[in-house]
Structure 1
């Protein structure tokens, strides 16, 4: 494996985004850009990265503004500046452009984006940008039909807090709680605050103690607003109309994951894609597991196989962009 680092100024003008390009020892056949989720970082995908490298795939991955090493460097957590919905998408497009320049001839390889959770929202927005030139889109732990987002969150109250001099202040716990409303309802009494992440207790514990995760960092009001804005954008009617009709899509989820409405959100997005003229859509909802199907010991190998098989297929059948 060859590892190269990339850094660049975020679209927010404040942070220096930290990113990495992992290259296999064998001739590469494709590139996968990994887009991590809320309150985590890209190195939590190292098992998947290794699997992709073994399959001859280049991996590009960075830490978003307010997250991971990017936040370690800036000292600012859970905030991406003003207009966070635009910033995080713009940063992924910049990372792609810089990685393409770094890879030289490798930039001509089929390019797949894999986004998990919040990253699935960012990836969906990236997919509609003509500059992305994607050959495939993988959406894991897809954020769709979220109960708190669509039925509980006091949106006017959030909008009022997300503008003005105090927009960078932490959002009230009540509003954050509304966003995650019902996340623990299926897990019984005594479930920890992040029990929704995984069924396996060790995965949940690792998620909680990882200092580059800092999942409990208070979300700024403007960041929370950006999260809502991006969710609305990629779950709205216009998104389906702007996704290239010939773009292959793979959707992965667990049927005990509240982020995906317990798997129903995954089917909802996939079915709407098909109804809007996207013929190449595969959905896999894993039984009995929660949010991180790519980290859950019982589903990790199968989830990785779904991704590597998908990448291999779109490599064999390149699409013009």
Structure 2
């Protein structure tokens, strides 16, 4: 496996974003772009990356602004600057362009997890993305905290004032994560929703590149909600090419995906709007990180490899909105 390091200036004009392109020893079959979730970093996907590279795919991923190595270098955590919803999507489009400069003319597949599933959906709407496939893992859909609980007036006021770069109030953050551990018993820790396996939860908590406890800024929280709204809007489905294959993966105990119902909702809406190639797997008994749960990790990787193989083996172009 060869490794290319990629650096570029974020669209917030503040941070240097750090990314990596992993390539197999053979000619790559396609590029798979992994977009990580909130409060984590791209190298938490090492097992999936290794499996994909061993299967003949190149993989590209970065640590978003306010996250991972990018935040380690800037010293700024869980803040992407003003206009956060636009910045994170624009940064992933920049990473895509740089990966394509290194490996041109390959099918391009995006795999987005959690917050990354929101970024991936909005990225797929961009006509310049030209995706061959879209995989959504731990899909953020029908989240109670955003759809029903969060005080949007208070959030807007906090995110547009002079203190917008300062930490969001505990009340707003609590509203975002409303109900996340209520199914997991009275002794559940604050991140018990991450995984059923306690070792995965513990690893998530002690990883210094995660820094999940770092306070998010008000403007970041506002951008997170705006991005969620855009990815889950009824109008989003019309922006996706009807011929784009989509894979949706979730756990039925994952509050981010409304315990699996959010995954089925997005899949059903895609089919109802003319997107015929949609596969959905909701895994029983597991929570958010189905790609890291010991009981489902291999199945998730097999699903992802099979999906990427099918879409990259095609000779016909993906249908666009203009065709």
Q: Calculate the TM-score normalised by the size of structure 1.
A: 0.98
Cα distance, 1:318 vs structure 2: 4.2
Is it true that 1:74 corresponds to 2:74 in the alignment?
A: yes
Structure 1 CA distance for aligned equivalents of residues 194 and 67 of structure 2: 17
- CA 100–233 in structure 1, closer or farther in 2 if over 3 Å, else same: same
- Secondary structure of the residue that 2:230 maps to in structure 1? helix
Tell me the alpha carbon deviations over residues 92-137 of structure 1, each in whole angstroms, 9 at most, x when there is no partner: 000000111122xxx2111100000000000001101111110000
Q: Match for residue 9 of structure 1?
A: 9
Q: Match for residue 151 of structure 1?
A: 148
Structure 2 CA distance for aligned equivalents of residues 311 and 275 of structure 1: 24
Task: Tell me which of 285, 293, 297 is aligned to 1:296.
Answer: 293
Q: Match for residue 50 of structure 2?
A: 50
Q: Match for residue 188 of structure 1?
A: 185
Structure 2 CA distance for aligned equivalents of residues 184 and 310 of structure 1: 32
Cα distance, 1:319 vs structure 2: 4.7
Structure 2 CA distance for aligned equivalents of residues 19 and 75 of structure 1: 17
- CA 318–161 in structure 1, closer or farther in 2 if over 3 Å, else same: farther
Q: Which runs of 5+ in 1 are unaligned?
A: none
Cα distance, 1:50 vs structure 2: 0.3
- Secondary structure of the residue that 1:191 maps to in structure 2? coil
Q: Match for residue 230 of structure 1?
A: 227
Q: Match for residue 61 of structure 1?
A: 61
Matches within 5 A, 1:3-152: 3-103=3-103, 107-152=104-149
Instruction: State whether residues 110 and 318 of structure 1, in contact with CA within 8 Å, keep that contact through their aligned partners in structure 2.
Output: no
- CA 24–52 in structure 1, closer or farther in 2 if over 3 Å, else same: same
Tell me the alpha carbon deviations over residues 60-96 of structure 1, each in whole angstroms, 9 at most, x when there is no partner: 0000000000000000000000000000000000000
Instruction: State whether residues 135 and 318 of structure 1, in contact with CA within 8 Å, keep that contact through their aligned partners in structure 2.
Output: no
Task: Tell me which of 240, 245, 250 is aligned to 2:247.
Answer: 250
Task: Tell me which of 309, 312, 315 is aligned to 1:315.
Answer: 312
Structure 1 CA distance for aligned equivalents of residues 183 and 67 of structure 2: 29
Query: RMSD over aligned Cα, in angstroms?
Result: 0.7
Cα distance, 1:247 vs structure 2: 0.2
Instruction: State whether residues 256 and 290 of structure 1, in contact with CA within 8 Å, keep that contact through their aligned partners in structure 2.
Output: yes
Structure 2 CA distance for aligned equivalents of residues 319 and 223 of structure 1: 40
- Secondary structure of the residue that 2:172 maps to in structure 1? helix
Structure 1 CA distance for aligned equivalents of residues 241 and 46 of structure 2: 30
Structure 1 CA distance for aligned equivalents of residues 251 and 71 of structure 2: 29
Structure 2 CA distance for aligned equivalents of residues 251 and 318 of structure 1: 23
Cα distance, 1:262 vs structure 2: 0.1
Cα distance, 1:272 vs structure 2: 0.1
Q: Which runs of 5+ in 2 are unaligned?
A: 319-323
Structure 2 CA distance for aligned equivalents of residues 217 and 151 of structure 1: 25
Task: Tell me which of 216, 219, 231 is aligned to 2:216.
Answer: 219
- Secondary structure of the residue that 1:132 maps to in structure 2? coil
Residues matched between the structures, number: 318
Instruction: State whether residues 19 and 62 of structure 1, in contact with CA within 8 Å, keep that contact through their aligned partners in structure 2.
Output: yes
Instruction: State whether residues 246 and 319 of structure 1, in contact with CA within 8 Å, keep that contact through their aligned partners in structure 2.
Output: no
- Secondary structure of the residue that 1:27 maps to in structure 2? coil
Tell me the alpha carbon deviations over residues 278-312 of structure 1, each in whole angstroms, 9 at most, x when there is no partner: 00000000000000000000000000000000000
